[in-house]
Amino acid sequence: MATEKATFGAGCFWGVEAAFRQVPGVISTSVGYMGGSFKNPTYQDVCTDLTGHAEVVEVTYDPSKASYTDLLKVFWEIHDPTQLNRQGPDVGTQYRTVIFFHMPEQEAAARASKESLERSGAYRRPMATEITPAAEFWRAEEYHQQYLEKRGLASCHIK
């Protein structure tokens, strides 16, 4: 089976991971950090808001069962893409809205999707979502992986 990776930041990674784990065709998810300059960051490092990393979810999926467009739809639905460097009560650049693309086709789809939403008038404020090349993924500590699932919770999103 051929698989692909997609990486999204949409606030606290616990709820983002839980949402993507529900998508048919998603094989696995991992929470971690991407987009900063600090090597091998820990959660404590990222929480300082000095590393440049975003909390992200790396999604491994079967493109014959889930398209990248399907994943983008979930991404837009689970957070507020107009909030700059925050989601709800979580504030800092680590909570920014960001799409890290792994291939040119993902970049094109992400940009087209964002532009379509901007034109739709669905949001009263400008969209703050960054679209940028994927960088090194630093897997978060084990206790963060499937955090909500381990505690019997379905979601922590405010939207």
Domain ranges of the chain: 4-150
Superfamily of domain 4-150 in the CATH hierarchy: Peptide methionine sulphoxide reductase MsrA (3.30.1060.10)
Q: Which residues are part of the catalytic machinery?
A: 12
Match 């698989």 to its residue by tokens. 3
**CB 81, CB 127: distance < 8 Å:** yes
DSSP string, 82-122: T-TTEETTEESGGG-EEEEESSHHHHHHHHHHHHHHHHHT-
Query: Residue 14: what pLDDT?
Result: 85
- Predicted local distance difference test score (pLDDT) of residue 10: 96
Alpha helices (runs of H) in 7-155, residue ranges in sequence order: 13-21, 43-47, 68-77, 104-120, 147-150
CA distances from 80 to 39, 52, 112, 127 (A): 29, 20, 18, 9
DSSP 140: P
What does DSSP say about strands 97-101 and 90-91: parallel, antiparallel, or unpaired?
A: unpaired
Tell me the backbone φ, ψ of residue 129, rounded to 5 degrees: -65, 125
Q: Which pLDDT belongs to residue 81?
A: 97
In this structure, which amino acid lies at residue 134? A
Q: What angle do CA 65, 122, 69 make, to 5 degrees?
A: 15
Q: Are strands 97-101 and 130-133 parallel, antiparallel or unpaired?
A: parallel
Per-residue pLDDT of the chain (159 residues; tens, 9 = 90+): 799 999 999 998 888 999 999 999 999 999 999 999 999 999 999 999 999 999 999 999 999 999 999 999 999 999 999 999 999 889 999 999 999 999 999 999 999 999 999 999 999 999 999 999 999 999 989 887 875 677 666 666 555
Place of tokens 């500590």: 141
